[in-house]
Structure 1
Amino acid sequence: MPTDRMQRNIERHHDRLRGAMKEQLPQIIGGEDIITAPDGKRIRVPVRYLDEPRFIPARERQESGFGHGASPGNPSNEHREPEIEIELTIEELSELLFEDLKLPRLKPKASSDEMSDTQIEGITTRGPRGRLHLKRSVIEHLKHGGDWRDEDLRYRDVRTKPTEVTKAVVVFVRDASASMDEVKRYRVRAASFWALKWLRRQYQHCHAVFILHDTAAEEVDENTFFKASVMGGTMLSSGVGLASHLLSNRFPSGQYNRYVLHFSDGENWSNDDNRFVQAVKELHNEVEMYAFCQVSPMHFGRPTGAGSLIENLGDEFSRITVGHIWRNEEVSNWLQETFGGEA
């Protein structure tokens, strides 16, 4: 068995390893091999090799005819830290990610549905033999002595306890216009992947709905949502309008916690800007959150185009958030900014 000192060393090493992995999380979670991995598959995550600290004597400088920066087998003396690969499941990586982001637990409202949960509570004088409580039966028998009577038998009492069910629906809306190239579509896929995993950790039942739009919107399946390429121009109001319609008709607010995550590069037809802003204002009262994510570079760190219009609404409407993903490494920052506040 490991000694206390060995156990402390093991725990310290595990803590250092988790710390090294967390340092690289922004780069790790944006990787395509993780986003596209099938359920249950273990993925390999490269992390910095961690050795126990120790003193290493400095080597004497060797003069050679190759100069100070190169040698026949070593073209450069530049130091590179070694790496090791650790195997994790997607769920284990999710746990590490959400722990590092310190995302708050949401406060979901329960639906009118109830789920029955049977629990053993108390003792009763009737029941099947399989639930016979021997100790309590013997105590009852000893109270009077003599022969066993049916009245002495005691059974574990099973009662049905109703529990509230929490349900959510998240509507993913994506601008599918000609300006949304493959790189931008991948950013949408990575952000949607982790957002859905986070919400499904918070709710017992979480439905996902997918909407694509250019100048008109339509509901599609998940595969089409992520892979559909060039369509027409951009009218952001069409996507928001269809999201509102689907929520009203299929997911009543009294039964579902409702989220709309809208991804775009920020470009929009100018004659649609007012309709878009008005549609978002109206949607605000129907959902727990409307999040607009811009997946293209911003101007001096600020949203451009439609993103700037919605950012101004964020100060007035608490359920509207605006974020951006310019690079794959910014997915974790977007999760923190979007879900880091109170729902």
Structure 2
Amino acid sequence: MSGKYIISREDWSLHRKGEIDRQRHQEKVREAIKKNLADVVSEESIIMSDGNKVIKVPIRSIEEYHFRYDRGKMKHAGQGDGKSKAGDVLGSDPQQGGGKGKGGAGEEPGVDYYEADITIDELAELIFEDLGLPNLEQKKKPELVSESVEFKDVRKMGISSNIDRKRTIYEAIKRNALQGKKGLSTITRDDLRYKTWDVTFKYESSAVVLAMMDTSGSMGPFEKYIARSFFFWMVRFLRTKYQNVQIIFLAHHVEARETTEEEFFAKGASGGTRCSSVYKLALEIIENRFPPQDYNIYAFHFSDGDNLASDNENCVKLVNELLKVCNLVGYGEIEGPYYYTSTLRSAYKKINNPRFVSITIKDKKDVYPALKKFFSVAPEQVRN
């Protein structure tokens, strides 16, 4: 076996100029999205996308190339008379009113923004980059989640499709050198080297996440949208990064019940609020279906905090019970237009446990920081 190789020094990047520009633009778009994740995460067009694979994301920190015209509409060609010096002021843009007031109604258009097409998966990759399940522990019954083939060794025998060309050429050159010959002249059967593989198995501890949402009458459109936005990204995050996680959906008003995923994100309710009902149900589900010795358990509850005052102490007691069997319990309180000063969050100030995390959301922009806080882990724990 022998062969010849031709090395071309022609600069082929000129032929790929369009592709290079496109890749550069895409990178700038990704950077701009990353800087605006707090705004992007809560975009209604994404949350209500019904699983569409490609979505439009508004980006206000990136501009397309465009001509910039003289606002003063003066007649000039752009060159000087040759007598100007460094630092000379050649002209200034007259200030014009942008709206009603002293300057009158403005004539100039507003600031445009760029709409980028991006897939949900690409956006999810940016959002979930540093997230992971906190306090994840090795349980008694890890389950097989995948198996893969890894090439780990090189041998003299094998099938032709697995020839290691680089190692084969190296062996031929070494043999020729030992015989006093230069370079690569022939390849013999003894020079052939083949890549061999081993099957590797990946095991993952089982985990269950309890998604609990207040659907009572006090949860208005804003509160429900915020809660569903958080759970939308939480569900996608868990299914993107973990293969062995079960998600249980619980909705409550005065009473709590387990729902389907579709009902959880689509149906509302009315009536009063008794948050202890959802904690009781969560504890019953854990006791009957998910032994803590076999599962990593996480519970996340979102509410507007408007709970029966007589029920608050019971909620504190039940959350402490959950903390005995959960890796983490998270509570998110949404401050809507009808915010109450006496809330469930005030009662939870009595809980002193590092595995209890409480956050407040006042605006759509707070959804992303909430994800970061609930799923914050050490860098070495983040799953790749």
Indicate whether the TM-score tops 0.5.
Answer: yes
Residues 193 and 68 (structure 1), Cα distance of their counterparts in 2 relative to 1, 3 Å cut: closer
The correspondence for 1:93, drawn from 123, 126, 132, is 123
Question: 2: distance between equivalents of 1:60 and 1:222?
Answer: 59
CA contact (8 A) 2:134 2:376 kept: no
Question: 1: distance between equivalents of 2:74 and 2:151?
Answer: 76
Q: Partner amino acid for 1:228?
A: K
CA contact (8 A) 1:167 1:203 kept: no
**CA deviation after TM superposition for structure 1 residue 108, in Å:** 3.0
**CA deviation after TM superposition for structure 1 residue 216, in Å:** 2.1
**CA deviation after TM superposition for structure 1 residue 31, in Å:** 2.1
TM-score (norm: length of structure 1): 0.75
CA contact (8 A) 2:209 2:245 kept: yes
**CA deviation after TM superposition for structure 1 residue 321, in Å:** 0.9
The correspondence for 1:258, drawn from 264, 287, 297, is 297
1:50 maps to 63
Q: Partner amino acid for 1:41?
A: K
Question: 2: distance between equivalents of 1:15 and 1:155?
Answer: 39
- Whether 1:310 aligns to 2:340 is no
2:114 maps to 84
1:213-256 per-residue CA deviation (whole Å, 9 max, x = no partner) reads: 22221111112223332333222111011112212322233333
Question: 1: distance between equivalents of 2:344 and 2:261?
Answer: 25
The correspondence for 2:371, drawn from 325, 329, 335, is 335
Q: Partner amino acid for 1:282?
A: E
1:241 maps to 280
Q: Partner amino acid for 1:320?
A: F
Question: 1: distance between equivalents of 2:223 and 2:149?
Answer: 49
CA contact (8 A) 1:105 1:202 kept: no
1:148 maps to none
**CA deviation after TM superposition for structure 1 residue 21, in Å:** 2.6
2:180 maps to none
2:44 maps to 32
Residues 129 and 250 (structure 1), Cα distance of their counterparts in 2 relative to 1, 3 Å cut: farther
Greater displacement, 200-209 / 317-326: 200-209
Greater displacement, 74-83 / 227-236: 74-83
Residues 295 and 154 (structure 1), Cα distance of their counterparts in 2 relative to 1, 3 Å cut: same
TM-score (norm: length of structure 2): 0.68
CA contact (8 A) 1:266 1:294 kept: yes
**CA deviation after TM superposition for structure 1 residue 118, in Å:** 4.3
Q: SS in structure 2 opposite 1:207? A: strand
Residues 244 and 9 (structure 1), Cα distance of their counterparts in 2 relative to 1, 3 Å cut: same
- Whether 1:113 aligns to 2:143 is yes
- Whether 1:218 aligns to 2:257 is yes
CA contact (8 A) 1:294 1:303 kept: no
Q: Partner amino acid for 1:225?
A: F
Q: SS in structure 2 opposite 1:285? A: helix
Q: Partner amino acid for 1:96?
A: L
Residues 239 and 2 (structure 1), Cα distance of their counterparts in 2 relative to 1, 3 Å cut: farther
Question: 2: distance between equivalents of 1:213 and 1:167?
Answer: 26
The correspondence for 2:237, drawn from 177, 189, 198, is 198
Greater displacement, 255-264 / 16-25: 16-25
Residues 69 and 202 (structure 1), Cα distance of their counterparts in 2 relative to 1, 3 Å cut: closer
The correspondence for 2:221, drawn from 182, 188, 195, is 182
Identity fraction in percent = 26
2:325 maps to 286
Residues 19 and 207 (structure 1), Cα distance of their counterparts in 2 relative to 1, 3 Å cut: same
Q: SS in structure 2 opposite 1:334? A: helix
Question: 2: distance between equivalents of 1:5 and 1:132?
Answer: 36
Question: 2: distance between equivalents of 1:3 and 1:154?
Answer: 37
Question: 2: distance between equivalents of 1:40 and 1:286?
Answer: 37
Question: 2: distance between equivalents of 1:5 and 1:227?
Answer: 47
Question: 2: distance between equivalents of 1:106 and 1:215?
Answer: 31
1:320 maps to 356
1:232 maps to 271
Q: Partner amino acid for 1:318?
A: P
Larger Rg: 2
**CA deviation after TM superposition for structure 1 residue 84, in Å:** 2.4
1:44-84 per-residue CA deviation (whole Å, 9 max, x = no partner) reads: 1122342569997562589xxxx9979xxx96234522222
Q: Which runs of 5+ in 1 are unaligned?
A: 143-152
Residues 128 and 77 (structure 1), Cα distance of their counterparts in 2 relative to 1, 3 Å cut: closer
Q: Which runs of 5+ in 2 are unaligned?
A: 1-12, 76-96, 176-191
Greater displacement, 85-94 / 230-239: 230-239
Could you say what the CA RMSD is over the residues aligned between the two structures, in angstroms? 4.2
1:145 maps to none
Q: Partner amino acid for 2:254?
A: T
